[in-house]
Structure 1
């Protein structure tokens, strides 16, 4: 008997899945693949102040060649490919660290590409129970070709250093404090917020999304304040054009920014006495 068809994570249709390159196979022309192995870090915070030990896997090959089989051929070769094509002109100078002016259209194209990579990259963990981005967000991206409202996205200039941040995801279960139940059930402990940091060439990207959109909108980097000067917000977009490159990130900066939200929830828990 033939195996049942899987559901595409975007259109939801039962079809044959194709291998989707998380960051796009086309990037090979502009970003060399030099690593024979890479780190893949995934941390889950089930309760405030109680992050699980990071699930760090050492994978073969360069992280930019990572693929996931969760997208149907129609989505892969159709609108997902179009998002890649629309963003290329703006992304290439970011990868290469070359001067460019990011107007509002370029900000949107790059932010949409980062959203796509974040959504597909979530499935690198091979743990569906830790998927924090809801189906409604993936449907929004498919139908509108923009990041959903409950997302905030920043980018930074990150020339390759000794130990570059490659892919770091953190996920959290966020509940409404005004309607907090007496007991936290397993369902309530499912992740509803995520942060993802990754680098491609000289581009550092950080995406935050949550079922409660006011959280990403209000994120002020209080646990990594240097991010306010080193990272540029591109979603929501700004009508003011952004000159690139910005000041360069160090390895320590990239590592600090990647874990900033985890530190915030740890500090919050200590203040509240959890």
Structure 2
């Protein structure tokens, strides 16, 4: 994967250093590839808890392009808890909403019968300097889109797939106007559980990033 990392490096470094930059669609792809690579490695920190099937990994290694089912956001993190840390969370979204699920999901749960008992989604979050990356993927495509709707651009800017408007994309400007505070970053896990009514397992590991 050295070619992938070398290709992403010129665009990852300004994000890590807090420098101003505008990422085109192609640049966003390169950074998204690198974040996906970190996510793939991060899943193997706990091999028994791997969610993504091998065919998705194989396709990524072959094409070096994130799946359209992946969602990646980045933010300008100003918290203090940011060593080279990786935080992985496995989510189990079931046929019926949990007692704390957001009320708008009740109808969705009733209509969809594709819920899988056991972990079927994974989020992986890491920070390098001010760069905060949040990766989300799962086995039920409709839930990936539903989750995306809950994270509108603000402190977290969607990197992959690039947002498109009526006239294409204007690129992703970094750093964003709104900073990602430590409190908001730390509450992401509990917010996920409350909104989706999901059962989760949380892991945290140290990882040396190659940038």
Assess same fold via TM > 0.5: yes
d(CA) in 2 for partners of 1:267, 1:190:
10
Which sits farther off after the overlay, 161-170 or 201-210? Answer: 161-170
**2:196 aligned partner:** 265
Contact kept, 8 Å, 1:173 with 1:193, in 2: the verdict is yes
Structure 1, unaligned stretches of length 5 or more?
1-79, 182-187, 269-274
Structure 2, unaligned stretches of length 5 or more?
96-108, 164-168, 200-211
**2:33 aligned partner:** 112
d(CA) in 1 for partners of 2:87, 2:195:
16
Q: How many residues align?
A: 177
- Of the candidates 116, 119, 128, which is equivalent to residue 200 of structure 1? 128
d(CA) in 1 for partners of 2:18, 2:80:
17
Larger Cα Rg: Structure 1 or Structure 2? 1
Deviations 1:105-150 (A, max 9, x none): 111111111111001111123xx22111111210111111111121
What TM-score, normalized by structure 1, do the two folds share? 0.58
d(CA) in 2 for partners of 1:174, 1:133:
15
**2:157 aligned partner:** 232
d(CA) in 1 for partners of 2:145, 2:114:
22
Deviations 1:151-205 (A, max 9, x none): 111000113x332383221112345664469xxxxxx544221111110111000
Deviations 1:189-244 (A, max 9, x none): 4422111111011100001101112212222464xx6x631111111123321111
Query: Given the superposition, is the C-alpha separation of residues 256 and 141 from structure 1 closer, same or farther in structure 2, using an over 3 Å criterion?
Result: same
Contact kept, 8 Å, 1:170 with 1:262, in 2: the verdict is no
**1:242 aligned partner:** 172
RMSD after superposition: 2.4
